């Protein structure tokens, strides 16, 4: 069978409800898939936020991943960038390179992609498909009231440091795939799901607008990503290892492996954010309103650098190895 590029787009990526959405100025999509450009109408006066992420087989996902989970993850990592800025998702484009047309793959991929898109009310408005090594590139767009986007540059000495959810499970799953850790049955499935199906903290991000002084999502590892915040904000930080939130599966691992996963594990897509201590109640209320667990894990300090403290407040010296695509 020979399904061509245009048939493929129509069959898997043009949806009746996207076409309906295209007729709805409420969502701001004037015209979706099918022309040279999508035509959107942003909310007048609001800021328009844009981010792009490219996923490559063997780097960002394993060849063994289920197509539905890949579709989910490709959009999730992009939504996570909108979440980190507190933006409301609006629209996304998808560029997909595949060695050949595999209908089982496409069906599963589209299913996972659209399930997450629908959950966040974001419309697929355009894209590109081509033959080539498997590569998924998504660009997301969202909105925030003017000047209210959460940035990396606003952390101030004295601010609390929080993280959502739990850290390190995605890295633990990767270590199992690498043969460096052993997990079986339900425990493995739990951490594998964290690696393959991250949940972007979109509602939390929006709830933190006007409350958080800075935010970033954990894609390359807590130490590295918090490091970006410290650098951009011109501050340092102390992190309390015992306060880093971890799953029961993680808590059962050897201490050194836990530390490595918690501090340097990537792919968690949790939000790390800062806020002044006087906003502690408001921050907790925002977390409750968005049904997202948060943990207070440290404090911003004037002195540059990242200090990791054990349960007795003693300084530890773990290695920081944030993920770098050209160094790993």
* 132/234 with CB nearer its own copies: 132
Residue 58 touching its own copies (CB under 8 A): yes
> Which residues fall within 8 angstroms of residue 46, CB to CB, at 6 or more apart?
143, 144, 145, 146
Distances (CA, A) of 116 to 168, 202, 217, 273: 22, 11, 18, 24
Which region among 44-52, 159-167, 257-265, 281-289 touches its own copies (by CB under 8 A)?
Answer: 44-52
Among 24, 153, 284, 288, interactor with its own copies by CB under 8 A: 153
Determine the Cα angle at 172 with ends 54 and 224, to 5°: 55
Residue 187 touching its own copies (CB under 8 A): no
Residue 30 touching its own copies (CB under 8 A): yes
Residue 19 touching its own copies (CB under 8 A): no
Among 10, 23, 146, 189, interactor with its own copies by CB under 8 A: 146
Residue count at the site for its own copies (CB under 8 A)?
A: 73
Query: Rg of the chain's alpha carbons, rounded to an integer?
Result: 20
Report the site for its own copies in 59-78 (rule: CB under 8 A).
59-60
232-271 mask for its own copies (x: CB under 8 A)?
x---------------------------------------
Residue 130 touching its own copies (CB under 8 A): yes
Quick check: 205 and 83 in contact, CB under 8 A? yes
Distance from C-alpha of 301 to C-alpha of 314, rounded to nearest angstrom:
16
Work out how close the CB of 226 gets to its own copies at its nearest, in angstroms, rounded to a whole number: 13
Beta bridge partners of 215: 273
Residue 327 touching its own copies (CB under 8 A): yes
Distance from C-alpha of 217 to C-alpha of 273, rounded to nearest angstrom:
8
Q: Residue 230: in which H helix or E strand, if any?
A: helix 222-233
Which region among 61-69, 83-91, 164-172, 180-188 touches its own copies (by CB under 8 A)?
Answer: 83-91
């Amino acid at each position: 069978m020979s399904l061509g590029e245009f048939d493929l787009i129509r069959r898997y990526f043009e949806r009746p409800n996207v076409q309906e959405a295209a007729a709805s100025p409420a969502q701001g999509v004037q015209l979706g898939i099918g022309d040279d450009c999508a035509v959107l109408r942003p909310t007048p006066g609001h800021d328009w936020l844009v981010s792009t992420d490219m996923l490559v087989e063997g780097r960002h996902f394993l060849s063994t991943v289920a197509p539905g989970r890949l579709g989910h993850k490709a959009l999730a990592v992009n939504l996570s960038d909108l979440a980190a800025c507190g933006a409301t998702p609006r629209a996304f484009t998808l560029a997909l390179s595949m060695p050949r047309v595999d209908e089982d793959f496409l069906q599963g991929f589209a299913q996972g992609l659209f399930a997450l898109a629908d959950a966040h009310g974001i419309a697929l408005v355009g894209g590109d498909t081509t033959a080539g090594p498997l590569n998924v590139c998504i660009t997301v767009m969202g909105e925030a009231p003017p000047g209210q986007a959460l940035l990396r540059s606003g952390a101030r000495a004295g601010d609390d440091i929080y993280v959502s959810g739990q850290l390190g499970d995605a890295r633990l799953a990767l270590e199992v795939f690498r043969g460096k850790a052993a997990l079986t049955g339900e425990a493995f499935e739990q951490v594998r799901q964290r690696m393959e199906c991250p949940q972007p903290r979109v509602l939390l991000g929006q709830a933190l607008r006007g409350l958080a002084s800075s935010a970033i999502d954990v894609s390359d590892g807590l130490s590295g990503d918090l490091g970006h915040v410290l650098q951009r904000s011109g501050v340092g930080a102390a992190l309390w290892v015992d306060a880093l939130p971890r799953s029961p599966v993680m808590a059962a691992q050897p201490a050194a492996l836990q530390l490595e996963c918690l501090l340097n594990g990537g792919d968690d897509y949790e939000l790390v954010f800062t806020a002044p201590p006087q906003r502690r109640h408001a921050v907790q209320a925002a977390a409750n309103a968005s049904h997202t667990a948060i943990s207070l894990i440290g404090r911003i300090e004037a002195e540059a650098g990242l200090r990791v403290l054990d349960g007795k407040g003693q300084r530890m010296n773990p290695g920081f190895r944030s993920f770098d695509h050209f160094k790993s």
